[in-house]
Amino acid sequence: MTRVNRMKAMILEERGRSLRLAELPVPSPGPHQVLVRVDACAVCRTDLHVIDEELPPKKRPLVPGHEIVGTVHEVGSGVTGFAPGLRVGIPWLHRTCGVCADCRRGRENLCPNALFTGYDVDGGYAEYALADERFCFRVPETYSSREAAPLLCAGLIGYRSYRMAGPAERLGIYCFGAAAHLLAQVAKADGVEVFAFTRTGDRASQDFARSLGVAWAGDAEILPPTLLDAAILFAPVGSLVPQALRAVRPGGTVVCGGIHMSDIPSFPYALLWGERVVRSVANLTRQDGLDFLEVASRIRIQVTTQPFPLEEANAALTSLRAGTLKGAAVLLPHP
């Protein structure tokens, strides 16, 4: 393929500023790296946490974005899994050390030396992106790149959260956005009754949830009509933790699926008593990706997206912050 020297990218320079459209050099792949021409990059709530510095800043300027699907344009030395022209998915987990205790025990998601796409290293709000081929995935052919992009984080983290929730006949999902609309379909395929919780009065999201076959949809501040076996919180709102504990039965689990959350208020021990469990989910492992993408290939998830040109990344982020998106926002660098 012809070597490209310059690319458009949306860059984050400092907190409180909108992303800026810039022209940057196209990076060259090093050992085990692939240079990917970005076809689509979904917009994740974690991008907002990075931009707002709710996560400690790591790199400035930074190209955000970590739900990337594209075509391999060039490969570095040692690359064996991907060749130019093949489609590839790039997730949040950019690289781990491979030698720490957590990596050796199969918990690479907890590696203290891990690097993350669109946080420690430049991501997919650009025409090209670099990735370590050992942490990339093959994308199911049944999905377009625009459909596949949200699978790379909303799908992966949602699926890890689902597994951490344990066996459940009735599952509550708080915040019915990108991750929830994918996970609801996975759970429903498993025969699980899904209960969708949204912002107060958000009838559009509740109707969207019902269109995907959930058993019940309502405001997050009210209790469901029956106790749940587990609940997953995708909203970064700490006050929902005690509310979710009220909604689960004794022995139930509440999973906090985000990388950042506002402070959890104090609550009476009676809400936790009865062997209820509150747990977090951190990042993902490569095995999570392989397992989820196999499921996505088998059940053909309906992925709802709202496309934006790369240059309109700020508008996509504003829509995400306001909660007005249906499904996932996806940036298209090459519309």
For residue 73, what pLDDT is reported? Answer: 96
- pTM for the model: 0.95
Tell me the CATH class for 156-280.
Answer: alpha beta
Domain ranges of the chain: 6-150+304-332, 156-280
CA distance 273 to 38: 48
φ, ψ of residue 249 in degrees (nearest 5):
-75, 165
Q: CA geometry: angle at 180 spanning 215 and 11, to 5°?
A: 160
**Number of neighbouring beta carbons within 10 Å of residue 116:** 20
Tell which CATH architecture fits domain 6-150+304-332.
Alpha-Beta Complex (3.90)
For residue 83, what pLDDT is reported? Answer: 96
Give SS3 for 155: helix
What is the maximum alpha-carbon separation in the chain? 65
List for the chain the helix, strand, coil content (%; round to 5): 30, 30, 45
The DSSP result for 68-131, as a single string, is EEEEEEEE-TT--S--TT-EEEE-SEEE--S-SHHHHTT-GGG-TT-EEBTTTB--SSBSEEEE
Are 176 and 240 in contact by the 8 Å Cβ rule? The answer is: no
For residue 30, what pLDDT is reported? Answer: 96
Residues of the chain with pLDDT below 70 are: 1-2
In total, the chain counts a number of residues equal to 335
- In angstroms, how far is the first alpha carbon of the chain from the final one? 20
Q: Who contacts 195 (Cβ-Cβ below 8 Å, separation ≥6)?
A: 170, 171, 172, 173, 214, 215, 216, 217, 224, 228
What does the pLDDT look like over 238-257, one tens digit per residue?
A: 999 999 999 999 999 999 99
What does the pLDDT look like over 43-92, one tens digit per residue?
A: 999 999 999 999 999 999 999 999 999 999 999 999 999 999 999 999 99
